[in-house]
Amino acid sequence: MLHKGGAEFIDRLEPLWLALHEHHRSVQPGFAYFSDERSWELRRSCYRRWILEEDSFILLAERHSRAVAYAFVEIQSGPDDTWVTGSRMAELQTLSVAPAERGNGIGTLLLDQVDEELKRLGIGDLLIGTLAANAGAQRLYKRRGLRPVLVQYARFSADTEKH
């Protein structure tokens, strides 16, 4: 069952964020990652800030009253300074599916509902970021008609591996 909500859902997202945080470490090793506790503290703070943007929302998927996946969508003011966009844009800040639920179509269901909600809001522009090594997420987004537009490079002072 899918539910749309706001700030009232944030504290329920912790286990799913931590599962995604672990997934990030597994698909893109070789970087220094925050501890689970610190990662959630920082992400929770971002969620509290992002949800205040008008029309931002959380879609929470439950099975047997247990949260199994979510999509967090921040609505931002536009237009973009490079690409032609509308006066409002959406950014999928997080899509997380519990490990036991992956591959069952719940991510697609959430994305379908995100698209429906954005259509209802009259927002046609959607940004989604993913880790460079997360080929599965990239395939999912490409199948939905999204195209890569940015490649970010980083140097983190905490990294132990030097390239």
What tokens appear for 92 in the block? 């999928």
CATH 3.30.1330.10 fits 2-143, yes or no: no
Q: Where are the domains of the chain?
A: 2-143
Residue (of 70, 148, 137) closest to 109 by Cα position: 70
> What is the C-alpha to C-alpha distance for residues 14 and 36, in angstroms, rounded to an integer?
10
Neighbours of 56 (CB within 10 A): 20
Asked if residues 80 and 89 have their Cβ atoms less than 8 Å apart, the reply is yes
Calculate the alpha carbon distances from 152 to 68, 149, 155 in Å. Answer: 30, 10, 10
> What mean pLDDT is reported for the chain?
94
Read off the pLDDT of residues 119-156 as tens digits, 9 standing for 90 and up: 999 999 999 999 999 998 999 999 999 999 998 888 89
pLDDT over 90 for what percent of the chain?
A: 90
